[in-house]
Chains A and B, each alone.
Chain A
């Protein structure tokens, strides 16, 4: 049961307040990142007593999307918001470039190498060197282009020998 005493009585229906609540929603697969850091919040619309949030899937089959939509809803409900709708939009197609600077930093500290810029075609076809998030060596190699989730590839550092995840650049 949610402790109803903690629910604010008068949630503010403006962009700043709603965004603040969304900043508390984590990516269920990468819990160090908020959905704001991931850059998957596309749009926030609100009226007097209703909120509509649009989110973008990272990958078409990303199983986290349903969980994220539910988490967004419950976080808003918890803060007293009413009439919440969360919808998924495809355009523009999510790109790893949408991950914030803070998000990249959090990823690296968590042990996941952040994506290279999609602007670089070389990165897209996996030519750019990926630095090891542990020892920062660039002597790394791809073990598999597909990793533990749809958005990650598996790498290995040839200096410190640690395997690590690389957030794929799309």
Chain B
């Protein structure tokens, strides 16, 4: 891969996480447990869609093949998506949605904080803009994990089950590979493997306050970097991409 191809791939990884999580949160529209929480989920989702637009728009320009943010969002198949497996996992109950969110918010906070120092000016600007939003997201999801974990027997059990169910999707987020290495060497990307210690501190303190058990590292799944996704992503894309694929020139 040449430099532009590497940067394109890197931007897809960043942007696809935002796009797919934004879409997942939108699935809560009309179904959230309380009105205030519905507003919160839609707000966080909207921020993520905004971040995805900025990153995919830039990715399209870097690629130089004439694809814009919409082309990248609506006309790529499952194997071409680079979001973490964690991100595409179904919403489940509210506990699972918040556990998934907290795990990612803490990661994205550290990753984007580091990217504000990127030598790539556009990327550092997007990171600085997004970081203000992620600060809110992280506080919101952490508070829910704590509140439900340290809540009733039922909410505690549900939150513990959610954390246990998602735990094996975490190691993939901190993997380095040739693309990540090249981006770090170029001063554009950040070494996610070194973020793990600070992420662990954050998560441990949240879990402790939430009276939750940190699960054992007994299993892990990987594959998003090669486009090997869980079966859930296809269903999500089918819904998200239906309209532009059925009516390619539709305007809304």
Contact = CB atoms under 8 A, between A and B. Distances in A.
Interface residues of A, number: 24
Interface string B47-81: 11111011000000000000000000000000000
Interface stretch (B132-140, B181-189, B210-218): B132-140
Given A60-B133, A90-B129, A93-B128, A146 B51 contact: no
A53 to B, nearest CB: 19
A137 B54 CA distance: 40
Contacts of B39: 144, 146-148, 154
Contacts of B125: 90-91, 93
Contact of A61 (B37, B51, B126, B128): B51
Interface residues of B, number: 29
Nearest to B130: A60
A63 interface: yes
Given A90-B54, A90-B125, A60 B47 contact: yes
Nearest to B136: A145
B135 to A, nearest CB: 7
Contact of B49 (A61, A145, A146, A148): A61
B135 A145 contact: no
A112 to B, nearest CB: 16
B145 interface: no
A13 interface: no
A2 interface: no
A94 B49 CA distance: 18
A138 interface: no
A92 B48 CA distance: 20
B50 A146 contact: no
Interface of A: 57, 59-63, 90-91, 93-95, 124-126, 143-148, 150, 154, 168, 170
24 contacts: A57-B129, A59-B133, A60-B50, A60-B133, A61-B46, A61-B47, A61-B49, A90-B54, A91-B125, A91-B128, A93-B125, A93-B129, A126-B139, A143-B36, A144-B36, A144-B37, A144-B39, A146-B40, A146-B136, A146-B140, A148-B39, A150-B43, A170-B132, A170-B136
